[in-house]
Amino acid sequence: MNTNRDFAAIILAAGKGTRMKSDLHKVLHPIAGHPMLLHLLDSFAELDLKRTVVVVGDKREQLDAALADRGVTTALQEPQLGTAHAALQARAALEGFSGHILVCFGDCPMVRADTVRRLIAALDEGAKVAVLGFRPADPLAYGRIIADSDGTVAKMVEYKDANDEERACDLCNSGLIVAHSDDMWPLLDAVGNDNAQGEYYLPDVATGAIARGDTVKVIETDADEVAGINSRAELAVAEAQWQALKREEAMAGGASLKAPETVFFSWDTELGRDVTVEPNVVFGPGVSVADGATIRAFSHLEGASVGEGCSVGPYARLRPGAVMEKDSKVGNFVEMKKATLGEGAKANHLTYLGDAEVGAGANIGAGTITCNYDGYFKYKTVIGERAFIGSNSALIAPVRIGADAIVAAGSAVSRDVGDGDLRVVRGDQVVKPGWADRFHDAMKKKKAAEKEKKG
């Protein structure tokens, strides 16, 4: 790719997406927790785009909101008269721009930056227009690309306008097209709507270039990369495809996935080397896992940082703001939210740590709860280094437990505990010898009398 030439992208996202049957714009439906349109923009970020224009129509306000901090311009297509007409709506936003222009679709989130570079390279080698083709297992109703063995395009035709011989061709049009601005705008202007649908088709940019004697080249890629998403079923297929790629990437990076097909990643999940992930683990957005950590089965992590050598789960839940420092551990049925577990600290089972700070080496007993909410406000619990919290304790925030302190099992602590202190907060244990036996005898006699009375 010639880096001396500026590059811009027009992303078409004006369609209604009726097959999704959703109040959410089609291109904002998430894959791995990230809107498909933003996947595409993230990929294009590698290309050093000078300008990006998203052509919008239906539910424009949703797209404007999603793109507010992306440095992207939107252009309205109204009415919607076809894909070439849509691309023309970006002209005002690209006024004064001179360089290569890519036109693509917002519902094709898997397009890679390297593929776009290959299209640009075709222009640098002399083509006036470059298009992206693919060979699906079933060509269905895709538009066809009729090309020579060297990739020179002789004709592009929509399926509805193709004859039987052209439909027999398995090289299909993805819709991605690149040309220099000096060529793109005149070719778009020349597109007509004399076709079966009466629409202005984007592929006719290539057809127009061929008609005037220009060279048009097709670059081929895998069908999975350019699969469009128009329905919930196709969204699920794309999610599965993305997850499969991410699993391969994680294992190639040094992580061990015990049952890869059962592990689900978010778009921004980060795993270090020698991380072990057991079956049925879900990573939500914003999770990083450092080297040597173990995520045990059936755990759910979101917005969490897991330090080196840590152990999570099984059946643990780390919510946003959870931070586990080196060699700390949470076990089964432990939940953390906006809480830090210090180096080597442990909460082995049945514990809730919310709005809490736990010092290094502390031990949190089973059934411990940090009571952080009074129905109106959240409060913080601070537990010092090497403190021991006995089982079934309630720490009623705001409260501070000192270093090396012990909270006896079954305590409800509402006042600070000093360093090295023992705090026991329980009612007196009362024993009444023989009381239970007398109670049972009385109840049995009463029950028998009731039964005799009814009989």
CATH of the domain at 189: 3.90.550.10
| 349 catalytically annotated | yes
130 — phi, psi (to 5°)? -125, 135
Please answer whether residues 277 and 300 qualify as being in contact, where contact means their C-beta atoms are separated by less than 8 angstroms.
no
CATH assignment of the domain containing 414: 2.160.10.10
Strand partners, 134: 172, 221
Please answer whether residues 424 and 411 qualify as being in contact, where contact means their C-beta atoms are separated by less than 8 angstroms.
yes
- pLDDT, residue 428, reads 83
Choose among 166, 149, 148: nearest CA to 158. 166
Q: Give the other-Cβ count within 10 Å of 263's Cβ.
A: 22
| 51, amino acid identity | R
The full DSSP string for 289-347 is: E-TT-EE-TT-EESS-EE-TT-EE-SS-EE-TT-EE-TT-EEEEEEEEEEEEE-TT-EE
48 — phi, psi (to 5°)? 55, 50
Give the position of tokens 């309630």. 394
Do both 169 and 269 map to the same domain? no
Do both 216 and 284 map to the same domain? no
Q: Give the other-Cβ count within 10 Å of 163's Cβ.
A: 8
Instruction: Determine, yes or no, domain membership for 433.
Output: no
Q: Which residues are annotated as a binding site for UDP-N-acetyl-alpha-D-glucosamine?
A: 12-15, 26, 77, 82-83, 143, 158, 173, 230, 319, 337, 352, 363
Domain count, the chain: 2
Instruction: Determine, yes or no, domain membership for 235.
Output: no
Do both 162 and 58 map to the same domain? yes
Strand partners, 141: none
Q: How far apart are CA 106 and CA 55, in angstroms?
A: 9
How would you classify residue 269: left for phi > 0, otherwise alpha for psi between -120 and 50, otherwise beta? beta
pLDDT band at 3 (very low <50, low <70, confident <90, very high): very low
The full DSSP string for 342-411 is: -TT-EEEEEEEEEEEEE-TT-EE-TT-EEE-B-SS-B--EEE-TT-EE-TT-EEESSEEE-TT-EE-TT-
Residue 1 reports pLDDT greater than 80: no
Q: Which residues are annotated as a binding site?
A: 12-15, 26, 77, 82-83, 107, 143, 158, 173, 230, 319, 337, 352, 363, 366, 372-373, 391, 409, 426
Name the catalytic one among 85, 100, 349, 440. 349
The residue-averaged pLDDT of 73-84 equals 93
The residue-averaged pLDDT of 247-256 equals 98
β-strands 363-364, 346-358 pairing: parallel
CA 290 vs CA 8, 303, 308: distances in Å? 37, 14, 5
- pLDDT, residue 161, reads 86
pLDDT > 70 fraction of the chain, expressed in percent and rounded: 99
Question: CA 235, 236, 237: angle at the middle one, nearest 5?
Answer: 90
Tokens of 351: 């514990």
Instruction: Determine, yes or no, domain membership for 441.
Output: no
154 — phi, psi (to 5°)? -95, -30
The residue-averaged pLDDT of 11-24 equals 93
Domain encompassing residue 356: 252-423
Q: Which residues are annotated as a binding site for acetyl-CoA?
A: 366, 372-373, 391, 409, 426
pLDDT band at 139 (very low <50, low <70, confident <90, very high): confident
Do both 207 and 319 map to the same domain? no
Q: Which tens digits make up the pLDDT trace of 113-125?
A: 999 999 999 999 9
- pLDDT, residue 440, reads 96
Do both 34 and 80 map to the same domain? yes
Instruction: Determine, yes or no, domain membership for 445.
Output: no
Calculate the CA 171 to chain-centre distance. 32
Instruction: Determine, yes or no, domain membership for 236.
Output: no
Is the whole model's pTM more than 0.85, yes or no?
yes
Q: How far apart are CA 259 and CA 429, in angstroms?
A: 50
Do both 257 and 220 map to the same domain? no
Please answer whether residues 28 and 11 qualify as being in contact, where contact means their C-beta atoms are separated by less than 8 angstroms.
no
Do both 202 and 270 map to the same domain? no
Do both 345 and 216 map to the same domain? no
Do both 331 and 369 map to the same domain? yes
Instruction: Determine, yes or no, domain membership for 199.
Output: yes
Q: Which tens digits make up the pLDDT trace of 259-304?
A: 999 999 999 999 999 999 999 999 999 999 999 999 999 999 999 9
Instruction: Determine, yes or no, domain membership for 12.
Output: yes
Instruction: Determine, yes or no, domain membership for 210.
Output: yes
Length of the chain: 455
The residue-averaged pLDDT of 308-321 equals 98
- pLDDT, residue 430, reads 86
263-266 long-range Cβ contacts below 8 angstroms, 24+ apart? 265/32, 266/32, 266/33, 266/34, 266/302
Strand partners, 76: 56
Do both 126 and 275 map to the same domain? no
Residue 455 reports pLDDT greater than 80: no
Residue 2 reports pLDDT greater than 60: no
- pLDDT, residue 436, reads 94
> Which of the listed residues 183, 210, 226 is the one where a domain comes to its end?
226
> Which of the listed residues 226, 243, 263 is the one where a domain comes to its end?
226
- Cβ neighbors of 333 (< 8 A, separation 6 or more) are 315, 316, 349, 350, 351
The full DSSP string for 218-271 is: EEEE-GGGG----SHHHHHHHHHHHHHHHHHHHHHTT-EESSGGG-B--TT-EE
The residue-averaged pLDDT of 218-227 equals 95
The residue-averaged pLDDT of 3-30 equals 90
Do both 187 and 302 map to the same domain? no
Please answer whether residues 110 and 31 qualify as being in contact, where contact means their C-beta atoms are separated by less than 8 angstroms.
no
Do both 209 and 327 map to the same domain? no
Q: Which tens digits make up the pLDDT trace of 323-351?
A: 999 999 999 999 999 999 999 999 999 99
- pLDDT, residue 264, reads 98
